[in-house]
Each structure stands twice: as C-alpha cells, then as structure tokens.
Amino acid sequence: MKYINKKTKILLIILISIIAIAVGYYTYKNEKESQNFIEQQNLEIEENKQEESSKETEKIIVHVSGAVQNEGVIELEENSRIADAIEKAGGFREDAYTKDVNLAYKLEDGMKIYIPTMEEKENEKTNVIVESNIETENNNSSYSNASDGKNTNSKVNINTASKEELDTLPGIGPSTAEKIINYRKENGKFKSIEGIKDVSGIGDSKYENIKDMIEI
C-alpha cells in the first residue's frame, strides 16, 4: 500500500510538473503575442504620425496693406485666399473700398495685397492689387500704363515736390502724395527713383506708370 501511495505521489508530481510547464508556456506565449501586438500598434501609430506630418499643409507668407485693421506680414496655409488674408489682418477698415475685392483669389508665397480706401478709389481710380515677386496682378487685370489725364509734360522731383506737384503724376492722388511727403519726413530724401516703391500704396505697376515722369 505504501508502494502504491509512493508511486501515486510520483505520478502526481509528474502531472503537476507537466501542467505547470504547459501553463508557463501558454502564459509566455500570450505575453509574447501581446508584446508583439503592442509593438505592432506602436509602429503603426508612428507610421501614421509620420504620414500625417508629411501631409501637413505648407505655410506661405504674404504682406497685407492699405485699408485693413492690421497692416503687415502674415503667415497663412498654402492655397489660402484673399478672404483668409483679410481675416488674419483683422478685417477691412470702415473706409475700405471692397467692391472690387475678389475674396476667392488664391494667394502664393511672397505676394502683397493692397486694399485701397474709398477716397483713393475716387481720386485715383485705383484697383485692388495683388503683387507677387515677379508681376503685379489684381482680380481683373494689371494697372493700365495709360495716363489718367494728368499733366506729365515735365519730370517731378520726388525729393522736393509739393503735394500738388506729386498729385500731377498719373495714379498719385492727394492721399498717396501725402504719404510720399510723410515718408520723406520720416526717412529722408529718396536715394533713387525706385525708392518711391517703399511708400505704401506704390507697387511695381504704379511705379512703371510714373518712372519716366519722376527724378531725384
């Protein structure tokens, strides 16, 4: 009887050992599979992040000036429109001439948007302009090179001309003439005729219209 009991104990020990080994192997296998699954999930998450990062919209920089609340350089997402630029600049001022503003115009990096005032529109017949680094455009066409009927027989010295004399230049109304005079007071005399483009509201297109009529 003692022999049988001893044999039974040995069998039980062997059985328990087998069960323990099986349970241990099963647990190890599950933990390994779980770890592999977590690693795979983390890998997919990282890949998704990298893919999303590569698809992030690029930024563009544009300059908004004229009759807006906050003139200056602003950053926008690629494929933004004039509407987005105006909104980022705080919106139109009360005196802004908005009738010709094409809010759906798609912008590119480096462009300048100038919004004229109602006074400028009335006095200068100025269009809303959008200037790029290469050319000047507006929502309809570039400025016309034709004179608007003002006297252009003699050259105007932009360093000494009065407001009235500056007003004789095509496309330069009283408001812009005042800006030229204020610019001279704040920055000194122009070093070249091209320097007049530093005055707010005078871009490449307007400069092309007056460059043969001005001197320093």
Q: Give the structural domain span for 101.
A: 59-138
Which has more pLDDT, 73 or 14? Answer: 73
Q: Does the pLDDT of residue 128 top 70, yes or no?
A: no
Q: Would residue 8 count as lying in a domain?
A: yes
Q: Does the pLDDT of residue 123 top 80, yes or no?
A: no
Q: Does the pLDDT of residue 95 top 60, yes or no?
A: yes
CATH of the domain at 179: 1.10.150.320
Q: Would residue 66 count as lying in a domain?
A: yes
What six digits make up the tokens of 114? Answer: 């100038």
Q: Does residue 52 sit in the same domain as residue 69?
A: no
The residues facing 74 across adjacent strands are: 62
Q: Does residue 133 sit in the same domain as residue 76?
A: yes
Q: Does residue 134 sit in the same domain as residue 164?
A: no
Do 98 and 70 form a contact (C-beta atoms < 8 A)?
A: no
Average pLDDT, the chain: 78
Count the neighbouring beta carbons within 10 Å of the beta carbon of residue 173. Answer: 22
Q: Would residue 143 count as lying in a domain?
A: no
Pick the last residue of a domain from 13, 29, 56: 56
Question: For residue 206, what is the enclosing H or E element?
Answer: helix 204-210
Q: Would residue 148 count as lying in a domain?
A: no
CA dihedral 19, 21, 22, 28 (to 10 degrees): 140
Highest-confidence segment of 5-14, 38-47, 50-59, 177-186 = 177-186
* Predicted confidence band of residue 83 (pLDDT cuts 50, 70, 90): very high
Mean pLDDT, residues 142-164 taken together: 60
| Sequence-distant (≥ 6) Cβ neighbours of residue 149 within 8 angstroms | 170
Count the neighbouring beta carbons within 10 Å of the beta carbon of residue 33. Answer: 10
What six digits make up the tokens of 43? Answer: 């890998």
Q: Would residue 96 count as lying in a domain?
A: yes
Q: Would residue 151 count as lying in a domain?
A: no
What is each CA distance from 89 to 42, 96, 114, 130, 197, in whole angstroms?
42, 13, 12, 15, 22
Q: Would residue 71 count as lying in a domain?
A: yes
pLDDT at 32: 73
pLDDT at 89: 94
